[in-house]
């Protein structure tokens, strides 16, 4: 994408049809907060309310940390742990990557 930080949006939009799922199928949605405004822009583009309890339920990277080079691992582990702790089934994890790229990952507990 031309806009820095919006990369999670097309990544999520490409992942969901491959899985046959929609945003409504996820108990937790984690979008890495490179910047506070960035996650709000992504939520808006995805049609998620910015106050959704499913969105960055632990406060996101601003609260938990944004370790350069390890943000994806931190996001995945935070989401996996939260699924187990809350007895939830699915989490959607996404982050922006340099040069406008994005990544999305779906996690599911059996």
pLDDT tens sequence for the chain (110 residues): 677 889 999 999 999 999 999 999 999 999 988 888 989 999 999 999 989 999 998 887 777 777 777 888 889 999 999 999 999 999 999 998 877 789 999 999 98
Q: Is residue 60 part of a domain?
A: yes
Please answer whether residues 82 and 88 qualify as being in contact, where contact means their C-beta atoms are separated by less than 8 angstroms.
Answer: yes
The pTM assigned to this predicted structure is 0.90
Note whether residue 38 is domain-resident: yes
Q: How many CA atoms lie within 13 A of 70 on its CB side?
A: 7
The strands making up 28-31's β-sheet, listed across from edge to edge, are 28-31, 90-97, 101-108
- Give the angle subtended at the CA of 52 by the CAs of 90 and 20, to the nearest 5°: 35
pLDDT at 59: 81
In a domain, 1, yes or no: no
Tokens 């808006």 appear where?
A: 44
Domain CATH code at residue 87: 3.40.47.10
- What pLDDT sits at residue 55? 94
65, part of any domain? yes
Domain of residue 15 covers: 8-108
Say how many domains are in the chain: 1
- Both tokens assigned to 48: 């998620």
């Amino acid at each position: 994408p031309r806009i820095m930080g919006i990369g999670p949006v097309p990544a999520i939009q490409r992942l969901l049809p491959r899985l046959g799922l929609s945003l409504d199928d996820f108990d937790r949605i984690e979008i890495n907060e490179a910047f506070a405004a960035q996650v709000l822009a992504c939520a808006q583009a995805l049609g998620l309310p910015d106050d959704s309890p499913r969105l960055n339920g632990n406060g996101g990277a601003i609260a938990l940390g944004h370790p350069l080079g390890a943000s994806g691992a931190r996001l995945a582990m935070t989401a996996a742990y939260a699924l187990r702790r809350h007895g939830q089934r699915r989490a959607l994890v996404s982050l922006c990557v340099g040069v406008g790229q994005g990544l999305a990952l779906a996690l599911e507990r059996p």
